Amino acid sequence: MKGPLCPKNTMMKKFLTIISLITLLFASCSKEEIVPETELKQAAGTLSLNFDAIYGSQDFALNKAFDYELTSSSGNAKFTYEFTKLRYWVSNVILVTKDGNEYKVPDSYYLIEENTAQPIQGGSFNKVYPANKRENVIIRDIPFGEYKTVKFSIGVDSRYNDNLTLRAGELSALTAMANDDWMWFTSYIFTSTAGKITWVKSAPEAAVSKNFTFETGSNAQFKQKTIELINPISIGGDYTSKIDLTVDAKKILDLEAPFTDNIIGATKPALMTRLTDNVISKAISFKSAEGIKK
């Protein structure tokens, strides 16, 4: 039997049609599954965010006497500061591309510090937080792109500050950066600078020293810092990327009467606000940034 109704011809056409569909299906799958290696590398990148502590034109160091001259309406006074700690929380990091798109780093809570051993909650835990120095934050899994701005906050946002049982990033009450008498409830200490202040008078034997502790906390002191890069940097799997900032401890000390107000905390909210402004507006500044192709 011949003609268009021939079973053999019909079966052959169906068979060829099925083969063609299978070929197209495999070709389509192959195109979707084969991704160039360069694209895989660019799926995400890593940024090193560095906070270099300094004191004026000098490197910052613990247990070293740094000169400080205060000029006020009362005249001039000379002091020296010797630090036992410089600590602060960096949180809620946001990276902004040159096109204005924001990437909010999840669970970004980092403790930047240079400190001697510290009793936890004034010793109430009968434990000591060890001496440590940490100026660097490594942020991973950043979407590939060219970034022009980094934003971050100093302190801990109210969600976690009001409930120390919640965990995110490096947050913990056992870092000696929490207090149970901030505004009569337990919360994080946002910044903590402490050591010894000496009033240097004309006669060396007349010099007088005191311990000082300058701390900030409470939700009202949670502030954001914005750093604009001079030029956008690339972040991606094919790049080594970093942003370097400086943190000038000398500018944190900009107070009217540091020898009198040598203890600043929750009972002095106006001075806490002054310290917060010193950190955000004066102490932290841009140093350099680069994204170099590997």
Q: What is the pLDDT of residue 61?
A: 98
pLDDT given at position 58: 97
**Does 236 reside within a domain?**
yes
- CB-based burial label for 199 (10 Å; 0-12, 13-18, 19+): middle
Q: What is residue 250's predicted lDDT score, i.e. its pLDDT?
A: 98
CB-count exposure of residue 36 (10 Å: 0-12, 13-18, 19+): exposed
- pLDDT tens-digit profile, the chain (294 residues): 444 445 445 555 554 454 554 454 444 444 444 445 444 447 899 999 999 999 999 999 999 999 999 987 767 899 999 999 999 999 999 999 999 999 999 999 999 999 999 888 767 667 899 999 999 999 999 999 999 999 999 999 999 999 999 999 999 988 999 876 555 567 899 999 999 999 998 666 778 999 999 999 999 999 999 999 999 999 999 999 999 999 999 999 999 999 999 999 989 999 999 999 999 999 999 999 999 999
φ, ψ of residue 60 to 5 degrees: the values are -75, 145
- Residue 276's domain spans which residues? 44-293
205: tokens are 């034997």
Does any domain span residue 68? yes
**Does a structural domain hold residue 6?**
no
In a domain? residue 28: no
Tell whether 287 is covered by a domain: yes
Give the other-Cβ count within 10 Å of 247's Cβ.
23
CA distance 131 to 153: 24
The pLDDT of residue 283:
98
Based on its alpha-carbon atoms, the radius of gyration of the chain, rounded to whole angstroms, reads 29
- pLDDT given at position 29: 45
Q: How far is CA 8 from the centre of its chain?
A: 74
Is residue 16, in this structure, part of any structural domain at all? no
In a domain, 50, yes or no: yes
Residue 139 lies in a domain: yes
Number of domains in the chain: 1
pLDDT of res. 149: 98
**pTM score:** 0.84
- Nearest-angstrom CA–CA distance, 195 and 188: 20
